[in-house]
Amino acid sequence: MSNLTLVPPVEFDDLKPSAAPSGYISLEFSAVSGTSSMLPTNSGAVRLHALADCLVAFGDSSVVASQETSIYMAAGTEVFGVPAGATHLAVKGLGESGLLTVTGLDSTHRTQLTTNTMVPVQAGSSSVALPSGRMVRLFSMTDCFIEFGDATVTADNTSMFFEAGTEVMRVPSGATHVAVKRYALNGGLYISGVN
C-alpha cells in the first residue's frame, strides 16, 4: 500500500472577504445548460459553495464549463486561487441542477489547479499518468480503491480506500501514475495538478 501524506487544510485566518461591493455572486446551474459570470473584483482567491456536484472553469468572458477543461467539484465548499488573467467563472451541473455561491477573497494563498485528467472507475484496475507536481486534487463520485506508483501500478481491494468526494494529496516520492478500481459502482476519478 502507498505511503500517503494528506495536505493540511487552507488556513482561513489568512483569507478575508473582498472589500469590493461585488465580492459575492450566486449562480444557478443545470446539467443541460451551464452559466457564467464575472468574478468578484479584487479577488486573489474565491470560496465556492456548490449545492450539487458540478464542473467549474475559470477564464475570460467566453469561458464554458466542459468535461475536458473544467474542475470537477463535489457538493460542498472549496477555496481556489484565481488563475492569472481570469475574469470570469463558468459552472455546469453533473446530473442535477444546483446553486453555486462565489465569495471573493483577498489572499496571498493562491492554490491553482492545472491539467485535468480522468481515469475510469470500473471492476478492473485502470491507471493514468499523474500531472507534474508534488500535489494532486482527486475527485470521485463513487467509492473506490486507489494506488500510486509507476507505469505498472494496479489497484486492488487492498489499496487505499477513497470515499466519494474530493481530497488534495501529496504525491508519494517516485510516483508517476495512479491506479483505481471500483468499490461497488462504476464512475470516474478526476485528477488535477495543484500548484
What was the pLDDT predicted at 175?
92
**In this structure, are 41 and 124 located in the same domain?**
no
**In this structure, are 122 and 142 located in the same domain?**
yes
- Domain that residue 97 falls in: 12-106
In a domain, 80, yes or no: yes
**In this structure, are 102 and 118 located in the same domain?**
no
What was the pLDDT predicted at 23?
66
Q: Which residue has the cell 491507471?
A: 127
How far apart, in Å, are the Cα atoms of 169 and each of 24, 98, 99, 178, 192? 29, 27, 27, 12, 11
The pTM score is 0.59
In a domain, 4, yes or no: no
The kind and range of the H/E element at 127 are: strand 126-129
**In this structure, are 70 and 43 located in the same domain?**
yes
Q: Do the strands 126-129 and 177-182 form a parallel or antiparallel pair, or are they unpaired?
A: antiparallel
**In this structure, are 56 and 18 located in the same domain?**
yes
For residue 172, what is the DSSP state? P
What was the pLDDT predicted at 5?
37
Give me the number of domains the chain comprises.
2
**Which of 42, 74, 106 is the C-terminal boundary of a domain?**
106
Those residues with Cβ within 8 angstroms of residue 46's Cβ, 6 or more apart along the chain or in another chain: 39, 40, 79, 80, 82, 89, 102, 103, 104, 105
118 - beta bridge partners? 190
**Which of 62, 84, 106 is the C-terminal boundary of a domain?**
106
CA 27 to chain CA mean position, Å: 18
In a domain, 78, yes or no: yes
For residue 13, what is the DSSP state? G
Those residues with Cβ within 8 angstroms of residue 72's Cβ, 6 or more apart along the chain or in another chain: 53, 55, 94, 116, 139, 190, 192
What was the pLDDT predicted at 9?
40
Task: Give the pLDDT of the chain (195 residues) as one tens digit per residue.
Answer: 444 433 334 333 344 443 333 467 888 998 888 888 888 876 677 888 898 888 898 889 999 988 777 888 888 888 777 787 888 999 999 888 899 988 877 655 445 566 677 788 999 999 999 988 788 888 888 899 999 999 999 999 999 999 888 888 888 889 999 999 999 999 888 888 876
**Which of 57, 90, 106 is the C-terminal boundary of a domain?**
106
CATH of residue 124's domain is 2.60.120.10
